[in-house]
Each structure stands twice: as C-alpha cells, then as structure tokens.
Amino acid sequence: MTWFHAARARLRLLARRDAESRIDEEIRFHIEMETQRLVREQSLPHDEAQRRALATFGGVQQHREALREGRGTAWFNGMSLDLKLGARMLVKYPALTVVGGLAMAFGIWFGAVTFHMAGLVTSPKLPLPDGDRIVKIQNWDAKTLKEEKRVLYDYQFWRTARSITDVGAYRNASVNLVGADRPAQPAVAAEITASAFRIAPERPLLGRVLDESDERAGAPAVVLLGHDVWTTRFDSDPQIVGRNVQLGDRFVTVVGVMPDGYAFPVAHELWLPLRTDVAGVEPRRGAEITVFGRLASGTTLENAQAELQSLGRRLAAEHPATHATLQPHVIHYAKFGMESIDASVMMALTYVFLVAFVMMVCSTVALLLFARAAARETEILVRSALGASRRRIVAQLFAEALVLAGLAAMIGLLAAQGTLTRWGAPYLELNYGRLPFWYDFDLSLRTIVCALSLAVISAVVAGVMPARKITRGLGTQLRAGTAGGGVSFGGIWTAVIVAQIALTVSLPSVVMLARSEVNRIASFDAGFPTPEFLAVTLGIDGPLQETLTDQARIALDARFRDALESLRQRVEAEPGVTGVTFVDRLPGESHVYWRLHEVTVPETKARWVTTATIHPSYFDVLQAPMIEGRAFTSADLSPEARVVIVDQGFADRVAPGRNLLGHHVRLSIAEGADSNVVQLPWYEIVGVVKELGMQSAASARRVAGVYLPFVPGSQRSVKMIVHGRGNPLAMAPRVRELAMGVDAALQLDQVMRLDQVVIPELWMHRVWMRIIIGLTAVALLLSLSGIYAVLAYTVARRTREIGVRVALGAGPRRVITSIFRRPLIQVSLGVIGGGVIIAVAAIGVQNSARFSGTGTGGLTLGDIPLLLGYTILMFGVCTLACVVPTLRALRVQPTEAMRAE
Amino acid sequence: MPPRQQTDALRGSLDLLILKTLSLSPMHGWGISQRVQQLSKGVLEVNQGSLYPALQRLEKEGLVTSDWDTSDNNRRARYYKLTATGRRALGVELENWRRFAAGLESVLAVS
C-alpha cells in the first residue's frame, strides 16, 4: 500500500491551495505550542515567548519555501516568474509583439474556424437529452446504392423493433400559411408523429404539443406553431391557441406555440400531425418520410442494426418484388449519409493539417524570436554562467513565446467567433438552405481546446526551437569567453522567407482574379434590362394523402396549371403591368444541361446544351425579338408539336454561319447509349433568338441554349416573371394578394427583382476575396518581418566586423553590399518564384478559358502591367524592411564596436 | 519499493529520529521535536523549522501518513503516523545507523 500512501500524499501536496493552508496552519500551531511551553516553563510574558518561539523555529519564509520545493511545485513559481518576464518582454518589444502576435492569431483563427466547421459536418452533436442515442432508420437499396425514402409500409414493421423506442416519422411539407392580416407565405412545416415530442421534449410556450389523438382518422385538423411564425405572422398573439388559421386552402386549429429555437426534426417552424396508418399503403409506395427513434436503454447501435436487418430480411421474404434489394440501416440522427466516414479520423486529419499550417505560420515568428534571443545572447550567457541550466533558459524563452501565444489565442478565438457567426452560418445557408438546429456556431469547448493546443504548439515552434538553437554550445562559448559566432540562420528559414515572399507576390493576382470575377458577376448581362422585372417562384401545397394516387397527382397538376393561367391573367390586367410570363429557370441561374446528340446539319458533334422551358409569351415579355423564325405559339404546347428555339450561342457554337431554321435536333436529359439515340424524337428548330443568360451568372463560359415550350402543370415549381412600369418590387404585395385570391394553396417564394438573382453568388465571391486579401496581408507582414529579423540579426552579429571594416576605411557602399547580399538574394528569389506562380496560373486560366470556350480568361492584358508594377513595389517594400538595420550598421562607430566586445 | 538512497549522516539521523519517535505513537510536528529532546535528555535538539520539510519528504516516500486530529489542548493539529513500510524502513535505518555508529566508534577508539 506504500504506493497508495505515497500517491495520495503527492496528490494532496500538489493541490496548491490545500497544501499552502496546511503549511500555514502547521507552522502556526507549532509556534503557538512552543510559545505556550515557554510561558509555562520559563514564565516569560506571552510576547517575549512568541518572539523566542519564532527565533527557535528559524526563518518561517525559508522553511515555507523548502516545503514548496519539496512539494515539487517550485517549477510552477519559476514558470510564473518566466511568464511575468515574458509579459514584460511583450511591452518592451512592441513591434515584435504586434507582428508575431498577429501571425499567431491568424494561425489560431484559421485553425479554430476550420476545426469548428469540420466538426459541424463530421461529428455533429444533438443538443437533446441522450442526443447520441437518437437514430434514423433508412432503407438502402443495394441495387441503386440510394436511399429509398418511400418507407411508409416498412415503418409499420420498424415500430415493432424492441431495440429502438419512440419510433416516429416526419415528412417535409412546405405549406402556405396565411398570417393575421397578411397574405399567404410559405412556411417550412413538418408533418410529424407525436413521438417526436418525446424524442425532442420541450415544454410549449403556449398550449400543448401534438399527441397521438391528433393522428387518428377523423381527428380535427390541428397545427403547432414555431416561435418565429408566431411572432412574425401573428404578432405574438397570446390568444392564438384554439384559433383557426388558414394553411393553403384549409383551416386548422392552433394547439400550441413552441419556444424560440425549437426546430426539430431539422429546421422546421410549423408542425402538423402525420398520419401513418393510411389504409392500403403498399410496399415501396406512398410519400417519402424520414424515420427516427431512440436506442432502447442498454442497447447499442449494433444491436439495433442487427434487429432491423432481421426485420428487413423478413420483409424481403414477404415482398421479394419490392424488397429484395432493400436493407434497413440505423445511423446516428445528426449524420447525413456520412456513416462510412469515420468522424474521428476526419477530425484527426483536420487537426494534423492545422498543426502543420500553424507550424508554417509560426516559423516566421520563430525567426523573429530567434533574432531577439540572439540579440540577448550576452544576457543568456550571463544567466548560464550564474548556474541556469540549458533547460531553464529554454523554459524561459518558451514562457515568453507562451505569453505571446496566449494573447494571440484570445484574439484568434474572438475573431473566429465573429467569423463563424458573421460568415460561417450565412455561407452554409447559401449553400445548403436552412441549417439544422444542431448547427451551433458558438465556439464549442472542443474548438477552444483545439485552439489552445494550437497556441501551445505555436509557442513551442516560436519559443523552444530558437531557444534550443541559441543555447546549443553555450558551455563552449562560456569557456571561450566570447559571445556570438556560433549561431547562424539555417537553410530552412531562408526557404520559409523565400516561400513567403513568393506567396506575397503571387496572392494579389488571385485577388485580381477574384475581383474580376466579382465585377463580372455584378455586371452580368442577361441581354435585357433585368432590374425592370419582378421574379417570383411559384409552387403548390401537396398534402401527404393527395400524393398517394396517380389520380390525385393529376388533379393537383391540373389545379396548379389552372391557378398559374388564372394568376397570369389577373396580374397582366393590373395597371402598370406590361407582361407576365413563366420559365423554369431565371436568367442568371444555373440551367439544366441536356445532351444534344444529333443535328441535321452536317459536321456537327454531340455536345451539352443548356435548356429552359418557357411560356409562349417569354420573348415578348423580355422584349427580345426573334433573330430568325418565330416564337412559340399555344399550338406548340401539345406534346406532339416537338419544336425548339435555339439562341445565338447555339447557332455560333453548333453550326456557325449556317441557317438552322427547319433543321432538327435529337436531345435527351441524360447521356444515354448510342443505340438509344435513334429512338429519340426529332425536334424542329423554329426560331433563333439572342442570348438571354442561360447559365449561372458565375459561369464564364458561353453556352449553347435550347428553349422548349413550357407546358403548364407539368412541373410543381415554376418562376413567374412580371414586367411593369416603375419599381418592380412595389408590385410584390399586389401579386401576393392576387395569388391568394386565385388559389390559397399557391405558394409564392423568393420574390425579388430579376437582377437580384446574382446576389448569393456575388456574396460568396466577395467573402472569398476578403479571405484572400487577409491572407495576402498576413503573408506580406510575415515576409517583411522575416526579412527584417534576418537583417537586424545579421547587423547585430556583425557589429564588430563592420566596425573593423569602417576602421580600415571601407566606404558605406561596401558595407551595404556586404550585409545586403543575403536578403537581396532572398527577395529576388521570392519575387521570381511569385512571378513564376503567376505565369503558371495565368497560362492555366487561359487554357481552361479556351477549353470552356469563353472569350476572356481571368487575367487580361491590362492586368499584366499592374501586376508587374505590384511586383516592383513588393521588391521595394521588401527592401524597405532592410533600411532600419542597414542604417544601424552604417552608424556603427569603430570604437564602439570594439568596446562592445 | 526501491531501496532508499543513502543520505548524508545529518539528514539520515533526522529521518531516523522522526521515524523512531513516530513508532512510539502518532504525533504532531511540535510533539516530535519535544519528544526527541525529552528522550535524548536535552542532548539532541531538532531544528524545529527543518522538521517539516523532513516530514513532508517521508510522507511523499510513503513512510509516514498524516491527518488532522485534535491535540491535548483541544486544538486542531496535523498528526503523523508510521506506515507499515515506514516501520520496515525504520528497522533498516536502525541497522544502518548501528553499523555506522559502530564503524565510527571503532575508528575513534583507535588511540
């Protein structure tokens, strides 16, 4: 048990506060006992007795120190002294503090943001009770390697699983919600089973949550509102519970309001009961639903997986036609089909990358600290002579770097928090729509720990590496009685500086590229005055029950078609409106690519073309007259008509200089085998029109566009374009009102001016541009300070030599040449390297531009003098970093230089 | 447990005195110093301040253990107690000391 007693004693002694108070109390007790003895045995007055007791005890402070040292915490006191000294050094060398601190902060900022974003995707954490036990059940089709979401039939079986409790399901349903005195607007709703509120329990703000009775056939239609919907659409009406609200064309009773932030199952703002006991549901038919549940207590994911698989096998045996290739899988709820990727491996790889990145950034800081430590070599030698071990000196320099890194970590983490909330969340939203409720952009403990560990690594790289180098051979130097001569910059640091200068020189060309992209997107020309048009995305509510049968689907399509036509007529009848039309993709949005297999023009090859389906009025409303031929007519809407209109891009790229009218094309949505091509129908080209933005505004390539006639009702979502006099956005409320009057189930979404299509693309490119500008600034700062550090160090080391040279009559030119050579070579190499990178990138961009058929590459000829000018400027700026040390060298007086030794 | 390193005579003797005193009964620091003085009839006077670092060292080595208790005059005091290992170590140290003293004595006895 010795080890136990010893370990317990050591642990207790390490608990600093406990140990300190114990020492104090023991000493106090000892002195008091001795005082009492002296009073008792020698009849001394108390004060005198106490004085003698203290004298007998010896120096209290000294013994206390001995006890502390015995506890093994003396290093702690030493460290705290080093840290204090480090803080003082930061104040003493402000330039180094600012440059080194910023570089480290940049590394830590980048690390924290990357780590946090990677963590959100690869290892999400559900902020729910037992979050890691909540699972999804998916049916995977081994044949198509896709998830089969029509699992309403399987769901009834899965509910019998013993290893998963509270099995429930939801289905996304975008519904048109009519607010208090407001026109209808779509809301992201979930038709969901009541078990959801056991999986994600939350007390409602008002009323109640959904329960099983709401799901029964014939139960009154009810809705549970989210906090946002309640505040923005119903003015936070406290009497809302029990009221009837209009959802599309039906009325439902509000049963409750959920508190702010509740968005289960993903990012929902409204909940409706999901009826899963639909009679007559067939295997692999019906609506697409997502099934969730909670692992029963004592069950593992593997157990649940095994049970579900055996259920799956049973279903496969009973329904071989539909279920032979289906296999149920149980995965963690917050994961999106990423089960095959081991999250911990991903995170580890991310971390390794970040460590490498931080080490790279900090190598310059190491250079700066090295130069400073080298300048303090005499001090270090004296400390060593006074008995400080090499370890002790390295620890001191490490502590100095640690203080700097601590400061940098604070700044880096604050900046990371700002970046995540300001740019991280909007960036993901732009790419992936509404974000799941478990995406938390507040820095997690994991991220903070990662950032702090990066700070420690920074301190090791920036502090320990130079310290080890400078303290190497201290003993020899001490014996030789000289300072200096032993330390020099290695090839690695030269390489680092050269690489940084190359980066600094080349990054601005990337900024220019990004800027030209931004300008190009901002000035996207769709071929007609887009700011005069209003664009609206239209859809229609499709409840679960109605989507079950083909008849119901046909009825809904017909209803949508009638609603669209009726809306078109009503909007067109409005004063000030000059035209209304429909299209599946707005100009400037990315379009659907089709394969053009054949054209009846000789010597044409198969290629990809972009397509849009348009209403016959499209070109009229966009005021784009036909170049040749005619526009679509209502007769072309018949499926047998088989006619297309092509744009000028098509004419130029597919058959330049030929008249395409009357020729035929064979098109299909997928590539398809050659043998199938002959079965494809021929479409006749009846017109040629100017180019009207048939590609994403961000895409630089010129496309070949094909227009197909739009058959109303054939698609569940279309874009309506309205042209009128005055501000198009002023028409929006009236359009909403009219839509409500036509059919309450009509959903109006993304109501905007047509030129606003490019805003998301523009935003993303601007974010990227800012990041690159930030990178350039940091690279510039680092390379300048690196050059400065090397030169300052060189001058400091060669003071004596310079003094001797000057004493022997060397002129300033010679002195400058001798110390300037090295940085000059580094700067030249860096600038040349940067130039090469620009040239290679420019050639690459030109080639890819030629490949994609765009007329312009990223860099124009006009940019070249600009870049050349910048390179010269960079050369000048880098040289400027040499000025201060050079002047210092020139001021060296021979007498002083000799005395310095 | 690895064998204790040979300590210099002074430190060794202080450890020995502490271990021996504690083998009689658990005791607080001041009590140990008084007991040593008393048993040696005033010949040996323990440097009171250096007693505590020695106690701490012995505790870290697992030879003694300590706990708060109430003293005779009803004060809270830290009482030290010998562990089983400490008792064995005392035997070894005693043996060492006797050998050392005998050696010393033989050297000094040569006239």
Q: Cβ A66–B76 below 8 Å, yes or no?
A: no
Q: Which residues of B touch A66 (CB under 8 A)?
A: 50, 53
ipTM: 0.89
Q: Give the number of other Cβ atoms within 10 Å of residue A804's Cβ.
A: 15
Tens-digit pLDDT profile for residues A691-742: 999 988 877 778 899 999 987 767 778 999 999 888 888 888 899 889 888 8
Confidence of residue A477 (pLDDT cuts 50, 70, 90): low
Decide if B108 touches A, using CB distance below 8 A.
Answer: no
Cα A256 to the chain's mean position, in Å?
35
Strand A250-257 relative to strand A244-247, pairing: antiparallel
Report pTM: 0.66
Closest CA to A185 of A174, A169, A193: A174
Which stretch of DSSP H or E encloses residue A170?
A: strand A164-178
The answer on pLDDT for A847 being more than 60 is: yes
Q: Which residues of A touch B76 (CB under 8 A)?
A: 25, 29
Tens-digit pLDDT profile for residues A388-417: 777 878 888 888 899 999 999 999 999 999
Strand A222-225 relative to strand A244-247, pairing: unpaired
Cα–Cα–Cα angle for A513, A515, A519, rounded to 5 degrees: 120
Closest residue in A to B72 (Cα–Cα): A33
Closest residue in A to B86 (Cα–Cα): A2
Least confident of A115-124, A496-505, B60-69: A496-505
The shortest C-alpha distance from B108 to chain A (Å) reads 32
CA–CA distance, A504 with A787 (Å, rounded to integer): 13
CA–CA distance, A670 with A469 (Å, rounded to integer): 64
Decide if A61 touches B, using CB distance below 8 A.
Answer: no
Burial class of residue B110 in the structure, from the number of CB atoms within 10 Å of its CB (0-12 exposed, 13-18 middle, 19+ buried): exposed
Decide if B85 touches A, using CB distance below 8 A.
Answer: yes
Decide if A52 touches B, using CB distance below 8 A.
Answer: no
- Provide the pLDDT for residue B26: 92
Query: The sheet that has B27-28: what strands, in order across it?
Result: B27-28, B76-82, B64-70
Q: Cβ A3–B62 below 8 Å, yes or no?
A: yes
Closest residue in B to A14 (Cα–Cα): B60
Q: Between A32, A63, A71, which is nearest B49 by CB? A: A63
Confidence of residue A824 (pLDDT cuts 50, 70, 90): confident
CA–CA distance, B78 with B68 (Å, rounded to integer): 4
* Cβ-contact B62, B82 below 8 angstroms: no
CA–CA distance, A874 with A872 (Å, rounded to integer): 5
Tens-digit pLDDT profile for residues A65-82: 777 767 665 566 667 778
CA–CA distance, A377 with A900 (Å, rounded to integer): 13
What number is the average pLDDT over the span B93-97? Answer: 87
Strands (E), B1-111: 27-28, 64-70, 76-82
Confidence of residue A15 (pLDDT cuts 50, 70, 90): low
CA–CA distance, A839 with A864 (Å, rounded to integer): 10
CA–CA distance, A192 with A200 (Å, rounded to integer): 12
For residue A265, whether the previous peptide bond is cis, meaning omega lies within 30 degrees of 0, is yes
The shortest C-alpha distance from B109 to chain A (Å) reads 35
Decide if B37 touches A, using CB distance below 8 A.
Answer: no
Decide if A340 touches B, using CB distance below 8 A.
Answer: no
Decide if B1 touches A, using CB distance below 8 A.
Answer: yes
Choose, out of A28, A57, A60, the residue to mutate when testing the contact with B (most B CBs < 10 Å): A57
Tens-digit pLDDT profile for residues A188-212: 899 999 999 999 999 999 999 999 9
What number is the average pLDDT over the span A480-486? Answer: 50
Q: Cβ A29–B29 below 8 Å, yes or no?
A: yes
The answer on pLDDT for A602 being more than 60 is: yes
Q: Between B50, B65, B77, which is nearest A29 by CB? A: B77
Match 């800081």 to its residue by tokens.
Answer: A365
CA–CA distance, A581 with A565 (Å, rounded to integer): 10
